[in-house]
Every structure is written in C-alpha cells, then in structure tokens.
Amino acid sequence: MILSALLTSVGINLGLCLLFFTLYSILRKQPGNVGVYAPRLVAQGQSQASAEFNLERLLPTAGWVRTAWQPSEEHLLSTLGLDAVVVVRIFIFSLKVFTFAGIVGVFVLIPVNFLGNQLSEDFSDLPNKSLDSFSISNVNVGSNRLWIHFCAAYVFTGVVCYFLYCESLYISSKRIAYFYSCKPQAHQFTVLVRGIPVSPESSCGETVERFFTEYHPSTYLSHTVLRRTSKVQGLISDAEKIRKRLAHLKLSTQSEQRFRRDGFLGIFGRKVDIIDHYERKLGDLEDNLRMEQSSLGKQEVPAAFVSFKSRLGAAIALHIPQGVNPTEWVAERAPEPQDVHWPFFSSSFIKIWIFKLVVVVACVSLTILFLIPVLIVQGLTNLEQLETWFPFLESILKLNVVSQVITGYLPSLILHLFLSLVPPIMIFFSSMQGYMSFSQIEKSACTKVLWFTIWNIFFANVLSGSALYQVNIFLEPKKIPKVLAEAVPSQAAFFIAYVVTSVPRIVFFGLLGVTYFFLAPLILPFLIIYYCMGYIIYRNQLLNVYSSKYETGGKFWPIVHNSMIFSLILMHVIAIGIFGLKKLPLASSLIIPLPILTLLFDQYIRRRFLPIFKAYPVECLVNKDRADENDPAMAEFFDKLVSAYRDPALDPLQYSRNTDGQNAPLLGAAEV
C-alpha cells in the first residue's frame, strides 16, 4: 500500500468521524432520545431533560466531551464501581505506553528507517511512496543503524514492564480498598457447592444441611438447593409472550380485529373473540406453570448455594477441599445473585468436563473455518491476485480511486463484518462450559475472542499474506523467528489500515502496537489517536449509557497483563528474526536475554499481584467481618441472604392478569 492509499483511508474515516460526532452531539440533546443516549441516567432517575425548544439543541457542540472528561476517579469509583475505573485505567495505561513508544518511534525510528535505501525508491515522489519505506524493511542490510532499533527494543520493554508494575500495584491496592469500602454483599458470604453425594434415603437439602452443620458448625448459615427449572422457564416465557400480545390486542380498538374464525386457516368455522381465546390460553398456561412449580421440589440438582455467617467462613469452604472424594463437595465462588445464569446449569463433574472438551474442539474448528474469509480479504490487498481470479474486474481496478479504496478500506471492513459474528458464538460456547454466572461466561468469552483475534487477524493475515498456508512452521519451532521476521513487517501496511478503519479493540490494538513498535512505527500515531478518542468515548458511555449488571472488582486486569507480556515476547521473537535477516547476528543473539527477562518479570508479577485478583486474604476478610459485627444492619442482611439465591422461576406469578400497560413488572427470569 502506498502513502496516498493510507491517506484516502484516513480521509474517509475522518469524514465519517466528523459526521458521527456532529450527529451524536445534536441527537443526544433531543429530549426524545434521552432513553437511547443516556439510558443509565434514565434508569437511575437522574435525567433532567427539559421539553422546551431552543436553538442550541440543533447546533453540534462538544459539551459532552467536557462532561465526560471532568469526573474524577473517586467519582467514577463511587458511582460506577471498580470495573469502570479499571476500564479507564486500561486506556490510561495504553496511552502512557504508546505515547512513549510514539515519541521514540516518530522522532527516532521513522527518520532512521526513511534514510535507508534498501527498497531503493524515488525519494521525490512522497505520495506514491510505499508505507514500507517508513518501516524497518527500508534499513540497509548489515547497517549499524539497526543498533538503534536494538536499543529501542530494550528500552521499550523496560518501560512497558515498569508501567505494568505500577498499574498492577495501583489496581490491586484499589481492589483491596474497594473491598473494604463496599457494603456486605450476598456473594461474599456464599459458595456454590457442586457434586453433592445424595444418598437414596435422604434429600439433597438434608445432606447439605447435615454436612455443613457437622463440619462448619460455627459459620454455616443456610443453603438453597438448585432445581431443574428449564421447563418452568419455558412456560414462563410462553406466558409472557401471550400476556404481551393480549395487552397489545386490548389497546387496538377495531372490533373486527377482535374476532376470527376458529376453523381451517381462520377462514372457516364460527367467529370467536381472540381476546377471550388468548385469555383462556393464558389461564391454561398459568395453571400448568403452577403445577410444574409445585412439582419442582422433587427435581433437585445435586448442587446448592451455601451461605455462611462470615466471609472467612465462606473462604474456608472455598479454599480447603471439603470431602474425602475430591470430585464431591466441590466448592466454587458464588456469583452475585442477579448475575446467576440459571438455565444452563449443570452439576456433574464429568458432564462439565466433557462439555469443556467439546467447547475446546468447537473453538479450534471455528478458528480453522475462519481462515476462509481471512483468505478472501488477503486476496483483496493483493490486487494482482484478484485480477487473476476475476479477469472481468480488470478495467475497474485500473481506476485509481477504486484500487485505493479496495486496498485501503474494503479488506478490514469485510473482516469486521465477519468478526462481528464471533463474539456471540464465543458467548454461546462459554455458556456451554458450565459457568454459573454471566460475568464468568463473558470473561471466558472475552478471552476466547481475544485469542481468536490474535490468531486469526494477526497470525493468519501475517502468514497467509507472505506465504500462503504456512501453518506448518508451527511444527518446526526453530524456524518461527525467521518466518515471522519475513512475514510480519510485510503486513505492516495492512495493520496500519486496520487500526485506521477499526471499531475499538482495546487489547488487540495493544498487541499490534507493541509488535509493530520497532518494525513500522507509523502505526503509533494512529494508535495514540485511537486511545485518546477511546478514553473520552468510554468515559461518556460508562457515565451515561452502560449500566453494569455485575461488579467483578477489576478481575479482568490480568487479561491485559497477559496479553501485554505475550505481545512483548512476540516482538522479541520477531526482533531475533529481523536482525538475523538483516545480517546482524550479534544483535540477534543479544536480544535473546530480553524475552527471558520479560518472562521472569511476568513470573514475579504473577506471584506478587495476581493472587489478589483471585481471592481476598485472611487479613481483609477478618477485618471486614469484624467491622460488620458492630453493624446493626447485619441482622437484616442475613435475613435477606437466606433467600438471596432463590431461583426466580420458583417465585409465584408476579403480574396481575388484568394489567394492560407495557411497563408491568416482568418476571425476574424474563429480565435476565
């Protein structure tokens, strides 16, 4: 790709960006749209939209940027929780890293690269210069200038590690502080126990009661046995649909619509009142539902939420193996009550295990199948290949604008379309894995999507671009640095375009930035712009739009850490290969300590900080428990705790059959 193609791409995006910015700043000010642009505030009753018209409403303004910028971290923490703060911190961290990288890249590396003449192009014609002349490919083979790149790799790695350390320290201390400051919550006192060994002569509930009063006499509070409610949930959602339809019918006043013939296709037979018909149907369903609910007592699953009188009590049940058979009485952290994913609940050790295997196989298959769209996209960036495949396009592709749009914009657009299908599929996979909560499902899906993206977008593009179907090289690890060193720089142009045209992918962009930092520093300014915009937009979204369903306490930070370390190691492997290709074997060998040092740093961080993201220590638990002892509100909290983990499908029907309005309280399960 040449520079002018990139500029076309930047231009298109800049235009679109301005358009959306203007539209957004106008539309958000219309009172009717407040439910779309600030649903969070509406839900909390904080929206103060005035209905009166003024001209300012039609002018694009940047006031929302100021509003999003202003709130302090303490304000975010108190109103939005720790997760929101950690998201913002990820942007700050990325900005720090890439500002440093950008300064080094733009003011040191790009000039060095540009002064090389390996690609021996005409210096004068800047717009038609290939982007590769700004990359390391342009530095002469054997040139001592490559030692600048060598130093940059060392310094950059050091700086990233330093920022990672600071950020881990900051976030982990915030996490502890947040734990101390928040109110007692049901999930802190509760564990989910699976694999309860039920004997034929006693019920599951009795077994749980007996076991925990026997072995946790001083801390055991209560338990809720889980039941198979998928049938009841089906009935509830059926009833819900009919209820909505009924409400809709009652609102429509045309009487001829109320009647329908009851025979074949509604054409023959006698006329019946449809409202009557549906009401009878609803009545039947509800009777059915009540019968099912009453028989649920027998359909126990050998799993239960067990609550304790203290956080330490729950931690003891969680951390120490309970029963003699390690596959029985398996305790795991309970999710928040509103976060429980009721329908897909499976309890057996073997079942969960088999499902996990199935999911692994499915993920691998999806990854392989996804190579097909990737290959098509790759075809688009190689125009010659496209002309060979579709000869009739030749004349169109000769047009300058068309070829620039196709090579600069279309490939990543198509990729985005296909990629947008991946997250829902991954969420489906994760929900099959036996996770008990939406947060776990989403976290697991996030990790899957991240690795899928890294593999499919990065590796598949890199490898198919340079030498189609080189997957074989992963069976010959010795050659990996060489192959990557040949392939990765040649795809720099594609990834610069990808960043320019992309929807946000916070963590994956980090990978791109780190990997291409010393190969093609031209990517860095775009990354910085992206992170700046992302910072403002996410703050706006967090403050006005997103309403978090659960709070993990920043548990997803380790994902960022892992991906950053992976990126650094990948950069080092590529560096080893690059210096080899550029006939600087000494630099190639001297890079080797760098990944080793990075892995040691990673190990240190893993031991020093990551345990805090997994479990709270005794010190915190005891302090918090003790602070609660003097709190008179705790008695009420424990009363609520006993019934906090009740399956909503077991609740008696909550809506009255005569409610007509759309805003009647729905059932809990329907809300989920």
- Name the site residues for its own copies (rule: CB under 8 A): 176, 214-216, 315-317, 319-327, 329, 349, 353, 357, 475-478, 600, 603-604, 607-612, 615-622
CB of 371 to its own copies, least distance (A): 20
* Contact between residue 139 and residue 577 where contact means Cβ atoms under 8 Å apart: no
Task: Report how far residue 377's alpha carbon sits from residue 372's, in angstroms, rounded to the nearest whole number.
Answer: 9
> SS3 for 537?
helix
Provide the minimum distance between the beta carbon of 622 and its own copies in the complex, in angstroms, as a whole number. Answer: 5
Give the C-alpha separation, 58 to 37, whole Å: 16
Considering beta carbons, is residue 234 or 323 the nearer one to its own copies?
323
Alpha helix ranges (H) inside 182-310: 204-215, 230-251, 274-295
132 or 625: CB nearest its own copies: 625
For its own copies, the closer CB: 103 or 615: 615
Give the residue with the Cβ less far from its own copies, 33 or 327. Answer: 327
Q: From the CB of 205, what's the least distance to its own copies, in Å?
A: 19
What residues contact 139, with CB distance under 8 A and at least 6 apart? Answer: 112, 113, 116, 118, 145, 146, 149, 582
How far apart are the C-alpha atoms of 394 and 406, rounded to whole Å? Answer: 13
Q: Is 319 or 398 the residue whose CB approaches its own copies more closely?
A: 319
Specify the residue, 510 or 558, whose C-beta has the smaller distance to its own copies.
558
318 vs 454 by CB, closer to its own copies = 318
| Closer to its own copies by Cβ: residue 123 or 474 | 474
- Give the Å distances, CA to CA, from 131 to 102, 457, 465: 17, 20, 16
Which residue, 51 or 475, has its beta carbon nearer to its own copies? 475
Q: Which helix (H) or strand (E) holds 492?
A: helix 492-500
Per DSSP, the three-state class of 194 is: strand
* DSSP class of 657: T
Report the C-alpha gap between 620 and 181 in whole angstroms: 11
Minimal distance, residue 533 CB to its own copies, in Å: 36
Count of beta carbons in the 10 Å neighbourhood of residue 199: 9
The least distance separating its own copies from the CB of residue 173, rounded to whole angstroms, comes to 8
Q: How far is the CB of 608 from its own copies (least distance, A)?
A: 5
In the chain, what is the straight-line distance between the N-terminal and C-terminal CA atoms, in Å?
47
Dihedral sign of CA atoms 278, 280, 283, 288 in order: negative
| Cβ at position 609, least distance to its own copies in Å | 7
What letter represents residue 603's amino acid?
A: Q
Q: How far is the CB of 577 from its own copies (least distance, A)?
A: 15
Residue 124, both tokens:
């004068």
CB of residue 158 to its own copies, shortest distance in Å: 19
What does the alpha-carbon distance between residue 525 and residue 106 come to, in Å, rounded to a whole number? 8
